[in-house]
Structure 1
Amino acid sequence: MEEIAAVVNCTPTPQPLHPDIRATDMRLRLHSNVIYLVAGVVVQDGKVLLIQECKISFKNKWYLPAGRMEPDESIVEAVQREVLEESGYQFQPEALVAVQRMDRKRVRFGLAGSIIGGSLKTKEQADGESTQAAWFTTDTQQLVKELKLRNNSILPLIEAATEWFANRPYTGLPVAVGHVSSSQRLLIVQDIGQELKVLVSRIEGGTTRLPSCLIHRDTLFSRVDHNSTLDSAVKVSLVHRACGMFIL
Structure 2
Amino acid sequence: MSIIVGTGAVVQDADGRVLLLLRGKDPEMNKWSIPGGKVDPYETSQNAIVREVEEETGLRVQIERLLCIDETIRPEQEQHLLSLIYLVQAVSGEPENREPQKHAQMRWFAANELPPAAEIASFSQQALTLAFKQTESPIQPS
TM over 0.5: yes
What is the match of residue 47 of structure 2?
77
Aligned alpha-carbon RMSD (Å): 2.7
Specify whether residues 119 and 86 from structure 1 end up closer, same or farther in structure 2 by C-alpha distance, changes over 3 A only. Answer: same
What is the match of residue 9 of structure 2?
40
What is the match of residue 105 of structure 2?
132
The 2-side partners of 1:112 and 1:78 are apart by 14
2:23 to 50, 53, 63: 53
Query: Would you say how many aligned residue pairs link Structure 1 and Structure 2?
Result: 128
**Retained in 1: the 8 A contact 2:24–2:102?**
yes
The gaps in structure 2 that reach 5 residues or longer are: 74-78, 135-142
What is the match of residue 96 of structure 1?
66
What is the match of residue 217 of structure 1?
none
Please report how far the alpha carbon of residue 74 of structure 1 lies from its aligned counterpart in structure 2 after TM superposition.
1.0
TM-score by length of 1: 0.45
What is the match of residue 148 of structure 1?
119
| 1:157 to 2:127 alignment | yes
What is the match of residue 82 of structure 2?
107
The 2-side partners of 1:138 and 1:36 are apart by 28
Please report how far the alpha carbon of residue 126 of structure 1 lies from its aligned counterpart in structure 2 after TM superposition.
5.3
Query: In proportion to residue count, which structure has more strand?
Result: 2
Residue 114 of structure 1 aligns to a residue whose secondary structure is: strand
The 2-side partners of 1:95 and 1:136 are apart by 20
The gaps in structure 1 that reach 5 residues or longer are: 1-31, 167-248
Which residue identity lines up with residue 6 of structure 2 in the other structure? L
Which residue identity lines up with residue 133 of structure 1 in the other structure? M
Question: Which structure's relative contact order is higher, taking Cα pairs within 8 Å and 6+ residues apart?
Answer: 2
Post-superposition Cα deviations, 1:196-228, rounded to whole Å, max 9, x if no partner, equal: xxxxxxxxxxxxxxxxxxxxxxxxxxxxxxxxx
Please report how far the alpha carbon of residue 75 of structure 1 lies from its aligned counterpart in structure 2 after TM superposition.
0.2
What is the match of residue 96 of structure 2?
121
Asked which structure has the greater CA Rg, the reply is 1
**Retained in 1: the 8 A contact 2:21–2:106?**
yes
Post-superposition Cα deviations, 1:61-106, rounded to whole Å, max 9, x if no partner, equal: 3210011112132101111121112222112112111112223832
